[in-house]
Structure 1
Amino acid sequence: MPHSVPALKTVARQVLTFVVGAAAVWLIVCFQLFVNVDPLSVHRTDAVIMLGGAGSERLPVAQQVQEEYKVPVLALSHTDTSGNAAADDACKSATFPNASLICFRPNGLDTRGEAQAVGRLIEANGWKSVTVVTSSYHVTRAGRLIGQCTTAEVQMVASHPELSPWQWLRRFIIETGGLIDVSLRPECAAG
């Protein structure tokens, strides 16, 4: 016996309600994971490390943290990419050796490559704690990856991009997938 039209409408309404509810919960979780990520407190660490990309947004925050907390070393991811021009210019114009500035090149131009490079940098310098600066949408995933590559204390600090609602939605999708990937495929053995 075929289903009646009212019964199908009820099922469709229930499915739609579930989908809308699940999407609303996902958006709330994404807001907490990728937007509302500022730490309750920031403290002095051995170094401030700025991850590559969005250099004009991230570099001022990294420099402010270094200055405000009297952190002796600023380490910049040097990628020679257009989005990282501000940090790349700082590296190109600096004189080396320089005790207060380290420019490092990750093997891969992605967060996994940077996490490996940061882990090596921490180990090579004997740092016990670092502050990592990246865009707010990137803090959760980057922090998790870097934590997998070092036993040092990692304090994440967010810069805040100005994105449209559609750009935020895109970041939410990308970062949700990235977090799932980081959980299923850890990067380093340390964490």
Structure 2
Amino acid sequence: MREHRPESGHARNRIRRLTAACLLLITVAIAGVPAYIHPQLDPLRPADAILVLGGPDDSRYPFGIELGLHGWAPTVVLSNPLGAEDDWMTQVCESPHRGIEVECFVPDPPTTRGEGRELRRLADQHGWHHVIVVTFTPHISRARFILHRCFDGELTMVASPGEVSVPRWAFEYAYQSVGYVRAVLQPGC
């Protein structure tokens, strides 16, 4: 009985493709460390407003309001991508907050790009030149990239407190990487 052996050229091409895919995956993982795990965070200093970006972790909203209550900015703007469907956010937006103004908006589209467009509109309307932006650690770098396209002023990027689980980190690596590619391919705000 004859042994069937794959053609050596076909096997080599398959190995090359597999090697290239592994190298790409390793490169993305290594490149993601400074972008997603240890992004550039900025020291807090007084600003015109605080913008809290929407996302999967609700701890960022109380943190943004707390920053306002501690005097870092007189206005706190909360992004509410879910709109009226989010009862908790609706309650936060309608509650009085002593000493600060709280504004809420539904971004259009419900993405960081939509939040950037609203930031630009509000900054033009109110004359803001410096905004503190609150989001969670894996989103800091991509948010900075997108918001700088929409807002000519100074951004102070701050990570909200909270832990990110290992499975969530894996998801965020993929999600943020795809988001970066999409942001690069869609120039402008």
Give the TM bin, normalised by the shorter chain. 0.7 to 0.9
Q: Contact 1:43–1:69 at 8 Å: present in 2 too? A: no
Aligned to 2:62: 60
Identity %: 25
Q: Contact 1:78–1:91 at 8 Å: present in 2 too? A: no
Q: Contact 1:50–1:58 at 8 Å: present in 2 too? A: yes
Q: Which runs of 4+ in 1 moved over 6 A?
A: 2-5, 7-15
What TM-score comes out, normalization by structure 2 length?
0.78
Q: Contact 2:83–2:106 at 8 Å: present in 1 too? A: no
Secondary structure in 1 aligned to 2:59? helix
Secondary structure in 1 aligned to 2:167? helix
Specify the code of the residue in structure 2 equivalent to 1:65.
Answer: L
**RMSD over aligned Cα, in angstroms?**
3.1
Aligned to 1:48: 50
How far apart are the structure 2 equivalents of 1:125 and 1:70?
17
Aligned to 1:144: 145
Specify the code of the residue in structure 2 equivalent to 1:147.
Answer: H
Specify the code of the residue in structure 1 equivalent to 2:178.
Answer: G
- For this pair of structures, how many residues does the alignment match? 184
Deviation at 1:16, TM superposition (A): 5.5
- The CA deviation string for residues 106-128 of structure 1, in whole angstroms up to 9 with x for no partner, is 22222221111111011111001
Aligned to 2:125: 124
Distance verdict in 2 for CA 1:78–1:16, change over 3 Å: closer
Is there any run of 5+ residues in structure 2 with no aligned partner, and where?
Answer: none
How far apart are the structure 2 equivalents of 1:137 and 1:127?
26
Specify the code of the residue in structure 1 equivalent to 2:149.
Answer: Q
Secondary structure in 2 aligned to 1:56? coil
Is there any run of 5+ residues in structure 1 with no aligned partner, and where?
Answer: none
